[in-house]
């Protein structure tokens, strides 16, 4: 069971603790995302897995903390926070920016001799195939338009000036972390990698998602679902069924 781990609890949320869990899933939110986004995922997978969800600084209960605008710095902090939580097989699941972050954490864990049991990356091009983007330098109106285009944030939330003033700084900071990230070549992962993508995602094509295979010497599979960038939100049943299947295979 995930118990009291002191400062690491700043980073980790466990909505459905599972004493004696045989496997854990660690979820990495997208740019501007918070831990609560994964509450439905945690509920759906809470047996036999214990689901841990990361909470980045600058949002929700960490909104008074400064955002971290460097993806490698985020990966270092998260790797440290996960130490002590790796006593059972651990699967990493990241969406969009969270996919790049989960990949970098997987690299760090493997280098430390504590490889994850699998890495699942969703809605993201491979780390060495990034297209130069500068959403983080855009105006507030342009940033809002971009987020709305992806359908990742409730339009009513962005229409409320008070809520908008709370969420936009985290969104902008996360985009800066994602867009300034540069992959540093190194050994391929050895753990299995599963790439998930929507068939109508404006951020990544199916062909681009397939190139994640180049980043592991382990098993690779590509899963394509109906939907856009946030297919997990619009049609969650099939991706959740796949996750449950992967978890069952490792327990």
- pLDDT of residue 240 exceeding 70: yes
Query: Which CATH number does the domain housing residue 226 bear?
Result: 3.40.50.1820
How many structural domains are present in the chain? Answer: 1
68 belongs to a structural domain: yes
Say if residue 2's pLDDT is above 60.
no
pLDDT given at position 236: 85
Residue 126 within any structural domain of the chain: yes
pLDDT of residue 162: 73
Range of the domain at 150: 6-249
- Residue 151, domain member (yes or no): yes
Q: Give the mean pLDDT of 140-155.
A: 64
Domain annotation covers residue 34: yes
pLDDT tens digits along 60-106: 999 999 999 999 999 999 999 999 899 999 999 999 999 999 999 99
Name the active-site residue from 34, 36, 46, 96: 96
pLDDT band at 135 (very low <50, low <70, confident <90, very high): low
Q: Are 122 and 196 in contact (CB under 8 A)?
A: yes
Say whether 134 is catalytic.
Answer: no
In-domain check, residue 1: no
């Amino acid at each position: 069971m995930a118990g009291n781990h002191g400062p690491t609890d700043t980073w980790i949320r466990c909505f459905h603790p599972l004493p004696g869990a045989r496997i854990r899933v660690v979820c990495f939110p997208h740019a501007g995302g918070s831990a609560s986004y994964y509450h439905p995922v945690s509920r759906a997978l809470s047996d036999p897995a214990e689901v841990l969800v990361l909470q980045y600084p600058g949002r929700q209960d960490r909104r008074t903390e400064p955002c971290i605008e460097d993806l490698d710095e985020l990966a270092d902090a998260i790797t440290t926070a996960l130490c002590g939580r790796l006593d059972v097989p651990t699967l990493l699941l990241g969406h969009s920016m969270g996919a790049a972050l989960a990949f970098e954490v997987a690299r760090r864990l493997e280098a430390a001799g504590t490889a994850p049991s699998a890495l699942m990356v969703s809605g993201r091009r491979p780390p060495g195939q990034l297209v130069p983007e500068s959403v983080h330098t855009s105006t507030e109106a342009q940033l809002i338009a971009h987020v709305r285009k992806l359908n990742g944030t409730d339009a009513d939330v962005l229409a409320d000036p008070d809520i908008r003033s709370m969420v936009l700084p985290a969104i902008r900071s996360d985009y800066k972390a994602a867009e300034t990230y540069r992959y540093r070549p190194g050994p391929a992962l050895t753990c299995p990698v599963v790439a998930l993508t929507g068939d109508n995602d404006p951020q990544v094509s199916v062909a681009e998602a397939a190139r994640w295979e180049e980043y592991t010497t382990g098993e690779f599979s590509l899963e394509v679902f109906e939907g856009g960038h946030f297919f997990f939100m619009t049609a969650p049943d099939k991706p959740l069924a796949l996750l449950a299947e992967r978890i069952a295979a490792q327990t």
